[in-house]
Amino acid sequence: MDKKTKAIFSKIMREIGSKGGKIGGKRCLETMTAEERSARAKKASLAAAEKRTAKRLAAEGISIQPSKATKKT
């Protein structure tokens, strides 16, 4: 695949993906219960906190293993 074709293909796929992403969030709000939304938000919050902590510790030169609590099962 030449560079021009690859660039066009990439642009098309990006447009398709952005349409689905816009629909997905609204669909989740309509179909998920309050408990499911809460669990999803909690999981995202824990993952973000773990990422921030890992970044801070890396800057300080400390190495830790990721916890099993936020890993996908």
Euclidean distance between CA atoms 65 and 25, whole angstroms: 32
Predicted confidence at residue 70, as pLDDT, reads 53
Condensed to tens digits (0 to 9), the pLDDT of residues 38-72 reads: 999 999 999 999 999 999 998 888 876 666 655 55
Q: What is the pTM of this model?
A: 0.51
Residue 26, Cα to own-chain centre: how many angstroms?
16
Parse the chain into domains and list their residue ranges. 3-58
What is the spatial distance between Cα 31 and Cα 24, in angstroms, rounded to a whole number?
Answer: 10
The single residue listed with the structure tokens 């809460």 is: 38
**pLDDT, tens digit (0-9, with 9 covering 90-100), for 2-45:** 888 999 999 999 888 877 767 777 788 888 899 999 999 999 99
